[in-house]
Amino acid sequence: MMGIAFSAAGADVDEQRLAHEKPKSMVLRLASAKASAAHSDATQLVIGADTIVTVDDEVFGKPLHEDDALRMLAALSGRTHAVLTGVAVRSPLGVQTSLSSTEVRFREIRPDEALAYWQSGEPRDKAGAYAIQGRGGVFVQAISGSYSGVVGLPVFETARLLKNAGLDPILMPLSS
Q: Which 3 state secondary structure label does DSSP give 149?
A: helix
CA distance 56 to 28: 20
CA distance 121 to 135: 10
Task: List the catalytic residues.
Answer: 50
Tell me if 11 is assigned to some domain. Answer: no
pLDDT at 102: 98
Tell me if 107 is assigned to some domain. Answer: yes
Q: Which 3 state secondary structure label does DSSP give 157?
A: helix
Average pLDDT over residues 143-156: 96
Tell me the pLDDT band of 23, cut-offs 50, 70 and 90.
very high
- Between the alpha carbon of residue 32 and those of residues 24, 28, 29, 38, 127, the distances in Å are 12, 6, 5, 10, 18
Average pLDDT over residues 114-121: 98
Tell me if 97 is assigned to some domain. Answer: yes
Could you tell me the residue range of the domain that residue 139 belongs to? Answer: 23-164
Q: Are strands 94-106 and 80-91 parallel, antiparallel or unpaired?
A: antiparallel
- Over 60: is that where the pLDDT of 137 sits? yes
Question: In sequence order, what E strands does the chain have?
Answer: 46-55, 58-60, 80-91, 94-106, 140-144
Tell me if 87 is assigned to some domain. Answer: yes
Average pLDDT over residues 69-97: 97
* CATH number of the domain bearing residue 135: 3.90.950.10
CA distance 83 to 149: 8
Which amino acid is it at 161? L
Using one digit for the tens of pLDDT, what is the confidence trace for 41-79? 778 899 999 999 999 889 999 999 999 999 999 999 999
Tell me if 171 is assigned to some domain. Answer: no
Tell me if 112 is assigned to some domain. Answer: yes
Strand partners, 86: 50, 99
Tell me the pLDDT band of 32, cut-offs 50, 70 and 90.
very high
pLDDT at 174: 64
pLDDT at 170: 79
Tell me if 115 is assigned to some domain. Answer: yes
Q: How many CB atoms lie within 10 A of CB 78?
A: 12
CA distance 8 to 48: 10
Tell me if 149 is assigned to some domain. Answer: yes
The helix (run of H) or strand (run of E) holding residue 19 is none
Q: Are strands 94-106 and 140-144 parallel, antiparallel or unpaired?
A: antiparallel
The total number of structural domains that make up the chain: 1
